Amino acid sequence: MFTGIVTDMGEILSLRQEGDLNARIATAFDIDTIDIGASIACDGVCLTVIALGSDPKNWFDVQISAETVSKTNLGTWAPGRRVNLERALKVGDELGGHIVSGHVDGLAKVTRVTDEGDSTRVTLTAPADLARFIASKGSVTLNGTSLTVNEVDGTSFGINFIPHTKAVTTWGRVAVGDDVNLEIDTLARYVARLAETL
């Protein structure tokens, strides 16, 4: 379980196809506090740490199944790419974003990027079956970042990124055409399901 508050921007150091896809990710996290088997959200995808090291940078390895690659943007990862990282929520931690599972529902596509003062407005299109769960002023998780939806128009929705968010996440590098990992708000899913049964 996560909150969508990104705490590090990691860097893909290497990728190896060994049955599953193995990725080595550099991090500023203190690896002495990470256990083998720990969950870390990487661009919003909950992945399991299988190895740790520090030569020369701190790093951790994760194993990514073909199923995960097919449902996320992790297939576009390449060495040098920056990724949003968040360690799993601990009891007593501040819940600054919203409840995030790290289970990506689908891909949204960036269709427009517009600077508005120091902030940046990003418009995305969601798959039709997921768009119905996205509401104006509701929460959504994009590449592991908990965000507030500004407006919704059919399958399109807009997000505003303040300078701080652009500086501490990969959103400062967003471009039209990017595929983005989308996790809808769990609460929205249950409200919609309840409405279907009434």
**Has residue 96 been placed in a domain?**
no
CA 82 to each of CA 15, 42, 76, 162, 198: distance values in angstroms, whole numbers, following the listed order: 14, 10, 12, 19, 45
Within this chain, do residues 80 and 13 fall inside the same structural domain, yes or no?
yes
Question: Domain total for the chain?
Answer: 2
pLDDT tens, residue order, the chain (198 aa): 899 999 999 999 999 998 899 999 999 999 999 999 999 999 999 999 999 999 889 999 999 999 999 999 999 999 999 999 999 988 777 777 788 999 999 999 999 999 999 999 999 999 999 999 999 999 999 999 999 999 999 999 999 999 999 999 999 999 999 999 999 988 777 777 777 777
Within this chain, do residues 81 and 118 fall inside the same structural domain, yes or no?
no
Full residue range of the structural domain in which residue 133 is found: 106-197
**Has residue 119 been placed in a domain?**
yes
In the listed set 23, 53, 87, which residue is the last one of a domain according to the structure?
A: 87
Within this chain, do residues 17 and 48 fall inside the same structural domain, yes or no?
yes
**Has residue 122 been placed in a domain?**
yes
Rounded to two decimals, what is the model's pTM?
0.92
Q: Is the peptide bond before 56 cis (omega within 30 degrees of 0)?
A: yes
